[in-house]
Structure 1
Amino acid sequence: MGEGRFPELSDVSEHIGQSVTSARPGRVEMTWTPGEHLCNPAGGVHGGYIAMILDNAVCFASASTGDHFVPQLTLNLNIDYLRGVQAGQTYTVVSTCVHPGRTRLYSTAAITDAQGRVIAQASGSTIPNQAFAR
């Protein structure tokens, strides 16, 4: 990822509407277009899906710091929900690895709308999933 090459994304990425648009060591950018199937009964995108995209972003930023892609395990994720997310709109998600430690990495992520307003933001710690380490 740190060289701009992306690992194959799972069906989950398609289901939630995320797409990695760029990556460099320590920074990953995505677009996110949530569908109606992610909405709660009130009509907005469910907070759990907002948490999921932020978790993915934090993990991708951490993973982008390695020599090769190693999936990350989330140790903690802190989220601030600031505005509602609407289905069918495209959002930008930017994540940065703030501390690329050998055993514990710390990253931040933010979702912004088309007007550049922050919708939600997160910080989280991850560790490399040793089951995938080479």
Structure 2
Amino acid sequence: MPRTAQSPDDLLALSDVLKISGLEFMQAILDGTNPGPPIAHTMGYALHAVEDGRVIFRGTPEFNVTNPLGTVHGGWYGTLLDSAMACAVMTKVPRGSVYTTLEFKINILRAIPLGTEIECIGDIDHVGRSTGVAHGEIRGVDDGTLYATGSTTCIVMKLA
């Protein structure tokens, strides 16, 4: 079961991150060995599944993530899609390297009703020595309704 970092000291040191592959890093967050980022707790989502080239988060938007009109803020969609797509890229990052998002794009297709459990799926399209490209979607867990799609480009950096 994933747990969330409560302070910067809870996060894995970069020197330790560089000793494992991106897939091992993501699996350690999923099994609770290493803590996940605090943003997941703040935004109401958690890592649900990790495979080579694929990551799934699950969450349920509540009132605290709405805009002034009372609907789910676009930033919530973007945060989930960025997390899932970039973490999918991370599963392909080799030991000694890290990554970060260069750009991402989202398309919101329909409003997610508050209290609806969703899953956000990130799948890689390509990960090479210096770039990773992935796509993602947000779907309702119960009925599969497609709420949003996205795409990302990440930079992969060899540090060790």
Q: Does TM-score exceed 0.5, indicating one fold?
A: yes
The structure that has the greater radius of gyration is 2
Question: C-alpha offsets along residues 26-65 of structure 1, whole Å, 9 cap, x if unaligned?
Answer: 0111101222111011111100111111111111000011
After TM superposition, the runs of 4+ consecutive aligned structure 1 residues lying more than 6 A away are: none
Return 5+ residue gaps in structure 1 as ranges.
none
Q: Cα RMSD (Å) of the superposition?
A: 2.0
Change (3 A) 1:17 1:129: farther
Q: Which residue in 1 is equivalent to 2:35?
A: 8
1:69-80 correspondence runs (5 A): 72-80=99-107
Q: Distance in 1 between matches of 2:98 and 2:66?
A: 28
Q: Quick one: which of 121, 137, 147 aligns to 1:119?
A: 147
Change (3 A) 1:36 1:8: same
Return 5+ residue gaps in structure 2 as ranges.
1-21
Q: Does 1:96 align with 2:119?
A: no
Q: Which residue in 2 is equivalent to 1:86?
A: 113
The answer to whether the 8 Å contact 2:99/2:157 transfers is: yes
Structure with the largest fraction of helix:
2
1:25-104 correspondence runs (5 A): 25-68=52-95, 72-104=99-131
Question: Share of identical aligned residues, percent?
Answer: 24
The aligned amino acid for 1:119 is Y
The answer to whether the 8 Å contact 1:74/1:126 transfers is: yes
Q: Which residue in 1 is equivalent to 2:15?
A: none
- 1:87 CA drift (Å): 2.8
- 1:71 CA drift (Å): 5.3
Q: Distance in 2 between matches of 1:58 and 1:76?
A: 11
The aligned amino acid for 1:122 is G
Give the length in aligned residue pairs. Answer: 132
Q: Distance in 2 between matches of 1:53 and 1:19?
A: 10
